[in-house]
Chain A
């Protein structure tokens, strides 16, 4: 059974604590191997066949050196500090929150800069996850940024873009329909078919802004009902079977 195998292997794993250390040391040697190979490739381009042997030898030597270096790294006891990645710091990030006084521009609060700064911090942490310490807990809450700042920053530019596009499309559609049917703009707004066409277009754009949206909505519908189906599977047998199924 899977659980027996896992517990058996984990018994072996727990006896040798440097199992967990292998991965970082491997990546480190992997990275060094990578750089060596890059330099070798460059050498290959410059020289000819002769350098191929040198390349192979260098690869072998780097591999053997990585193997000898692994036990040295693995001797470190488990759970010791190994901060090989950069930590986030920013002059405006103090004591686990953004110092809002430092975002004042021309005497007014610059919320756009706060939004961008927080986005940068989150992106940094996503790429280099850091430990959550008790000494410097993060107490920043994004709710401190007022709602209109979000609108001004992200919603309004997008709305402006969409409105601009809609206006251009509308103007040209009006021109084309006039050329085809003779209805001018005043006549088009009175016509039921034209109005229905506008309604369908607007609804379609809201729902299916991109091509993927159609598949996304379908996936969402499936996902919402899958759990229900899994629970009701036990009640499948209860349906009375037809006369043909009597055995």
Chain B
């Protein structure tokens, strides 16, 4: 991948979609097949039926996609393998998600308005003083959120199928449908399930980090982090401290390239950490995280232990033919904060909107060009966010001195305002240039001081 000469990102916007008719070579298909791609306006109008789209995976991405599709006249099938799945997840959603997706406020268990960042030498910085009274980070239970989105999709006309997607047959030519093979469960516990097939015109793969849809289209692999989390029920008087406060611990002991956290949930806290490079040591990092938060979670009982992979960057191929990946399956998790719920839901909705537009509300067949519009829109809208977070991670999660500098920087009010604005509303707002300059100088100062202390530390022996 790295050996091929890549176009610079600015060059991408200049290449118009409509004029090109690339011959799509799908390496998975045998040589005799030819996939003719052409603009949707010349696609045949579907007779007697609407466009059929299957959404594999019923998380935030799948639920949002299915709802948008069904609301606009597309025949939608949502296939989810476990309808009561209690996903291991931080569970934080930004404020804009509540508005954009019309989430009822009772889904949100807690409104976090304060955060504490704790450096390797236990310097603790409180952030959140710049938040306005109506601003917060919502903590949700994934089973509640996912179920709500799925039910809303169903109310809008999608068929929710409780089944496990097994594999998919790619069509041999443009007119042929995609044939999905899945095992349907009838709701009884421990039931084996019946094998079924389903023919659809397009597929949205929203089945998460270990996506089978991605495997079917040879989307390629990504680097992933392991996030390990323990849910701890702590005594009520200790729970008061975490009423609307979340903590982030940084340090080499807690994680070499990520952070450890204590997030409040409905009636317990989630203590966890994650790593990309040292996955084998995750238990050690978890112990260190618990040690750092020891006083505050003393006397707690572990009620659940969970772990999950988190993608670090998008898959090499996010769509193929009329199959598109969204959410974790595509790898849309940000660096530095590891945020995925909002981007999953938003990408599901964006992909669905691209399908609606390309098929003119489900009346025409779509093609790969329409799905590419979704990729283009996504990259254009969120690329700055992803890149900025990547740079932050590279600069500030490198080493202990960098983390100390990071926590010091977070004490600055301007930094807090910019961070929360960009997190809560998902827009990169250009700040005051003078303040930006001051911020740059302060950042460099912090980094220099922390590294000078590190050099001192190297000279000492204890």
- Indicate, yes or no, whether A interacts with B: yes
Interface residues of A (CB under 8 A from B): 1-3, 6-7, 10-11, 13-14, 17, 20, 23-24, 77-81, 115-116, 118-127, 129-135, 137-143, 145, 147, 150, 153-154, 223-224, 226-241, 245-247
A40 vs B390: C-alpha distance in the bound complex, in angstroms?
A: 53
Question: Quick check: A10 and B306 within 8 Å, CB to CB?
Answer: yes
A230 vs B221: C-alpha distance in the bound complex, in angstroms?
A: 11
**In the complex, which residue of chain A has the Cβ closest to the Cβ of B442?**
A143
Expressed in whole angstroms, the minimum distance between the Cβ of A202 and any Cβ of chain B is 22
Of B12, B124, B459, which one neighbours A132 at CB under 8 angstroms? B124
Question: Quick check: A231 and B386 within 8 Å, CB to CB?
Answer: yes
Q: Which of A123, A137, A236, A241 has the most CB of B within 10 A?
A: A123
Expressed in whole angstroms, the minimum distance between the Cβ of B460 and any Cβ of chain A is 6
**In the complex, which residue of chain B has the Cβ closest to the Cβ of A153?**
B452
Question: Quick check: A7 and B23 within 8 Å, CB to CB?
Answer: no
Expressed in whole angstroms, the minimum distance between the Cβ of A189 and any Cβ of chain B is 34
Stretch at the interface among B42-50, B179-187, B316-324, B414-422: B316-324
Question: Quick check: B387 and A227 within 8 Å, CB to CB?
Answer: yes
Expressed in whole angstroms, the minimum distance between the Cβ of A82 and any Cβ of chain B is 9
Chain B residues positioned under 8 Å from A235 (CB to CB): 6-7, 12, 375
**In the complex, which residue of chain A has the Cβ closest to the Cβ of B331?**
A230
**Is there a chain A Cβ closer than 8 Å to B172's Cβ?**
no
Chain A residues positioned under 8 Å from B254 (CB to CB): 129
Question: Quick check: B394 and A23 within 8 Å, CB to CB?
Answer: no
**Is there a chain A Cβ closer than 8 Å to B303's Cβ?**
yes
List 22 A-B pairs, Cβ < 8 Å.
A3-B210, A3-B308, A6-B308, A7-B307, A14-B305, A79-B232, A81-B294, A118-B453, A121-B121, A130-B291, A131-B291, A131-B292, A142-B453, A150-B449, A153-B452, A227-B313, A235-B7, A235-B375, A236-B316, A237-B24, A238-B15, A247-B34
Question: Quick check: B408 and A233 within 8 Å, CB to CB?
Answer: no
Of A79, A239, A247, which one neighbours B31 at CB under 8 angstroms? A247
Stretch at the interface among B71-79, B127-135, B245-253, B344-352: B245-253
Question: Quick check: B302 and A14 within 8 Å, CB to CB?
Answer: yes
A140 vs B404: C-alpha distance in the bound complex, in angstroms?
A: 12
Question: Quick check: A143 and B20 within 8 Å, CB to CB?
Answer: no
Question: Quick check: B313 and A23 within 8 Å, CB to CB?
Answer: no
Stretch at the interface among B104-112, B140-148, B192-200, B281-289: B281-289
A154 vs B449: C-alpha distance in the bound complex, in angstroms?
A: 10
- Given A126-B400, A232-B7, the answer on whether A14 and B456 have CB atoms closer than 8 Å is no
Interface residues of B (CB under 8 A from A): 1-2, 4, 6-7, 9, 12, 15, 20, 22-25, 31-34, 88, 118, 120-124, 208-210, 220, 222, 232, 241, 249, 251-254, 283-284, 286-288, 290-309, 313-320, 335, 372, 375, 379, 383, 386-387, 390, 394, 400, 404, 408, 411, 445-446, 448-450, 452-457, 459-460, 462
- Given A124-B462, A132-B118, the answer on whether A234 and B124 have CB atoms closer than 8 Å is no
Chain B residues positioned under 8 Å from A78 (CB to CB): 300-302
Chain B residues positioned under 8 Å from A143 (CB to CB): 408, 445-446, 449
Of A24, A81, A130, A134, which one neighbours B241 at CB under 8 angstroms? A134
Question: Quick check: A231 and B293 within 8 Å, CB to CB?
Answer: no
Chain B residues positioned under 8 Å from A228 (CB to CB): 6, 9, 387
Expressed in whole angstroms, the minimum distance between the Cβ of B272 and any Cβ of chain A is 12
Question: Quick check: B22 and A237 within 8 Å, CB to CB?
Answer: yes
**In the complex, which residue of chain A has the Cβ closest to the Cβ of B294?**
A131
A247 vs B26: C-alpha distance in the bound complex, in angstroms?
A: 11
A143 vs B446: C-alpha distance in the bound complex, in angstroms?
A: 8
Expressed in whole angstroms, the minimum distance between the Cβ of B8 and any Cβ of chain A is 8
Question: Quick check: B453 and A115 within 8 Å, CB to CB?
Answer: yes
A-B pairs, top 8 by smallest CB distance, nearest first, are A119-B456, A131-B294, A233-B316, A230-B313, A10-B305, A123-B457, A129-B253, A14-B305
A221 vs B252: C-alpha distance in the bound complex, in angstroms?
A: 24
Beyond A23-B283, A78-B301, 13 extra complex contacts between A and B, CB < 8 Å = A7-B306, A20-B286, A120-B457, A125-B122, A126-B400, A126-B457, A129-B254, A131-B295, A150-B448, A229-B2, A231-B314, A234-B375, A238-B22
A135 vs B455: C-alpha distance in the bound complex, in angstroms?
A: 30
